[in-house]
């Protein structure tokens, strides 16, 4: 089980990323737009740097929905490897079977 503070921190990052998503994409597009003047592009990059760091979606970490474990995360199921195995053994995950050969 991950520390509650780490899970709460990730929730906070996700909320900030959602809040600033539109503004961040507009500023990034302005920086990349070569039709704008150099000063306008520079001002857009300065505004982009002034946004909170945690508003960048790349800073988010995938964590297990049940335990908050950051490693061994399966994106398709939203679970860590341990909890995914337990769920599969109980039959909670449709279409997944234990391998045997």
CA-CA distance, 1 to 81, in Å (whole number)?
13
Q: What is the pLDDT of residues 35-90, one digit of tens each?
A: 999 999 999 999 999 999 999 999 999 999 999 999 999 999 999 999 999 999 99
- pTM value > 0.75: yes
Instruction: Give ∠ CA 28-29-33 in degrees, rounded to 5.
Output: 120
* Alpha helices in the chain, H assignment, sequence order: 4-32, 38-50, 81-90
- In this structure, is residue 84 part of a structural domain? yes
Residues 37 and 82 in one domain: no
- In this structure, is residue 39 part of a structural domain? yes
Cβ neighbours of 42 (radius 10 Å) = 12
Residues 71 and 49 in one domain: no
- In this structure, is residue 99 part of a structural domain? no
Both tokens of 47, joined, read 């505004």
Residues 24 and 51 in one domain: yes
Query: Domain containing 73: what range?
Result: 65-94
At 47, which CATH number? 1.10.287.1480
Collapsing DSSP to helix, strand or coil, 100 comes out as coil
**Among 2-16, 28-42, 60-74, 86-100, the least confident range:** 86-100
How much is the mean pLDDT over the chain?
Answer: 94
């Amino acid at each position: 089980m991950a520390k509650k503070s780490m899970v709460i921190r990730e929730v906070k990052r996700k909320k900030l990323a959602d809040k600033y998503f539109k503004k961040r994409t507009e500023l990034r597009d302005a920086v990349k737009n070569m039709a704008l003047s150099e000063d306008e592009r520079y001002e857009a990059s300065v505004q982009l740097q002034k946004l909170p760091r945690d508003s960048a979606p790349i800073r988010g970490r995938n964590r297990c929905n049940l335990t908050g474990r950051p490693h061994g995360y399966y994106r398709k199921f939203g679970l860590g490897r341990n909890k995914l195995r337990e769920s599969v053994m109980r039959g909670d995950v449709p279409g997944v079977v234990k391998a045997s050969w």
